Structure 1
């Protein structure tokens, strides 16, 4: 199984969204359209009910500390389709969660460096940070053959922005060869246009093609799915 992992200062904070102290503990919880907000209180010091100490951000408005750029990460928009795209009989990709994350109060020197180096485009910037889109997915190969598949090729917003996943990503874990009878969790994080954020309501995801690993022959072309934010 070939797996590629990469990223900038987002590190694992963009995926696990772990924090260090105070607030909610979302460890072990799953995102769902009907999830209820948990609250936490302290007899010594009041804690923001939207602050997540451990685990993933599960509801819009929840936030945690950013260990990469400093400042904080807030869940701005969420879609949890839990929808499976059948690529081939016995081979599928499950789209779990799509999150729009706002990085704010970030270290400006670090941010300016990454903007200057072309990693973060200016159209994703806010007054004190930037926006990203994060997609978590699971690929299942129940066939008896090793297959090559690159997950997602493109993300297109309803505001007309096209994101080339492999070229525009900031952080990713991307398996490229799936051995027979395996299941793999992967993710992608990419910058997204901040100016269109208030009107953003849906995205279209396009998968990669599927190839036979043994001879390189293409088995299936790209497939697309449209997902609305909650």
Structure 2
């Protein structure tokens, strides 16, 4: 049986110490209280600060619990913050691909679109922000299902077109492929003549908190064999990676 992980035990002790006292603490006070070398305590604090679990007062250099701990009670990053931090990247993706861009989060066994950038041309388009789409039949949803161990068992797999995957075992295989390649596609699975490509947006520790992707006519998204165009896949993946780097950095 594997043993305990010392760094996690020490991090837990630091958090408990900060939670127990009414005052903010200096690095030395924390080190002395826990019997740790000052350098070790400082390293733990810097890591906890990076993930938002502690905060340092820049004036006094003292530490206290961070607001990142509150996220543990409400399923992670607030969708408004997620949307605001991805806005510029979504606009740039639409401009580069000349396709509509959507950002989505999991809502039960469906996906709620929290941001939509119109395809940058003169075609008539409807705003999709707030739209709820089926997770198993869309590229955004496949990304979110692939990294959520519980959502796949929440509901049925309704058919929307002849290409919709409705067998749970087949969907599980498709999601395993999504995890292996790091992106997802859906070709005429929700709407005939439409296709999408999506990639995961991650925060601290690689946690997937949303998905971003493009959506449009099959002939624009796919090649003649109905395979997603590699250049578009790379654009979506690069954008998702850029957003993930931002989400894993200090909060604004």
Whichever structure has more helix as a proportion of its residues is 2
Using structure 1 for the length normalisation, give the TM-score.
0.24
Using structure 2 for the length normalisation, give the TM-score.
0.22
Larger CA Rg, structure 1 vs 2: 2
Whichever structure has more strand as a proportion of its residues is 1
Larger RCO, structures 1/2 (Cα 8 Å, 6+ apart)? 1
